[in-house]
């Protein structure tokens, strides 16, 4: 079962303090309702009792799903020693261990793993879609607000590139991405036991290093 507790937060709008319930851990198998609240963002959404404004409060969270065999640490900090000691045997059994910096990254990562996809392959597909979008002059890099994984169906991955007023979708065969990963396996190697942060910044850093720009 997951664990929740009460803590005091400061409203980012009116600056007044009040008490909220936050979750330190969620087990998706044991807490399906809380899993749904994570995916909708409601687990992190709170309303100030003073100014009545809604806002997101991101606390450190351990998210585990035994069905799909992964653990995600939502935090900008390295995982706690206690968490590493607990999850190291899971990594040896083939579980995926990941760290996410933001709530949006967490939600996307859960969707990726529930689709039984490799998140390295997804990040490469997002990177390739971004490059194609720019090369085809569909928009400027600074105008892009997000590059998002949506789903994978029948061996085809859907990636959405969004700007403020428009966007574009890419349909990418997973076989093509897998071949790209196999051709340069050393570059995309991941140390799973250390809760790596596999996101767009990580993928960009791999290509910068290869080009001697890191």
Which uninterrupted H or E stretch holds 179? helix 174-183
Q: How far apart are CA 78 and CA 177, in angstroms?
A: 29
Domain ranges of the chain: 3-114, 119-210
Q: Is 178 helix (H, G, I), strand (E, B) or coil?
A: helix
Give the residue-averaged pLDDT of 56-76: 97
Give the residue-averaged pLDDT of 17-27: 96
| Residue position matching structure tokens 């997101």 | 56
Q: Compute φ and ψ for 9, nearest 5 degrees.
A: -125, 165
Q: How far apart are CA 209 and CA 212, in angstroms?
A: 5
pLDDT at residue 214, rounded to an integer: 42
In whole angstroms, what separates CA 75 from the centre of its chain? Answer: 11
> How does residue 61 score in pLDDT terms, banded at 50, 70 and 90?
very high
pLDDT at residue 1, rounded to an integer: 65
DSSP 8-class letter at 157 = E
Nearest to 157 by CA among 146, 144, 170: 170
Q: Compute φ and ψ for 202, nearest 5 degrees.
A: -65, -45
- Per-residue pLDDT tens digits for 155-214: 999 999 999 878 899 999 999 999 999 999 999 999 999 999 999 999 999 988 655 554
pLDDT at residue 139, rounded to an integer: 85
Give the residue-averaged pLDDT of 16-37: 96
Q: How far apart are CA 6 and CA 20, in angstroms?
A: 6
Beta bridge partners of 35: none
pLDDT at residue 179, rounded to an integer: 96
DSSP string, 80-137: PHHHHHHHHHHHHTT-EEEEESSHHHHHHHHHHHHTT--HHHHHHHHHHHHHHHHHTT
Q: How far apart are CA 81 and CA 62, in angstroms?
A: 13
pTM of the prediction? 0.92
């Amino acid at each position: 079962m997951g664990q929740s507790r009460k803590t005091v937060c400061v409203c980012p709008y009116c600056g007044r303090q009040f008490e909220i319930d936050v979750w330190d851990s969620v087990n998706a198998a044991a807490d399906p309702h809380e899993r749904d609240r994570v995916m909708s963002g409601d687990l992190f959404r709170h309303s100030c009792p003073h100014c009545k404004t809604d806002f997101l409060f991101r606390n450190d969270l351990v998210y585990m799903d035994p069905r799909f065999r992964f653990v995600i640490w939502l935090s900008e900090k390295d995982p706690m020693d206690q968490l590493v000691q607990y999850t190291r045997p899971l990594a040896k059994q083939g579980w995926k261990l990941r760290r996410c910096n933001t709530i949006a990254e967490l939600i996307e990562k859960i969707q990726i793993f529930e689709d039984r996809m490799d998140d390295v392959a997804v990040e490469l597909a997002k990177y390739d879609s971004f490059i194609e979008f720019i090369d085809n002059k569909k928009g400027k890099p600074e105008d892009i607000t997000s590059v998002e994984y949506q789903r994978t169906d029948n061996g085809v991955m859907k990636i959405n590139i969004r700007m403020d007023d428009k966007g574009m979708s890419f349909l990418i065969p997973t076989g093509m991405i897998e071949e790209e990963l196999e051709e340069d396996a050393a570059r995309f190697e991941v140390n799973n036991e250390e809760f790596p942060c596999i996101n767009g910044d990580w993928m960009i850093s791999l290509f910068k290093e290869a080009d001697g720009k890191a």
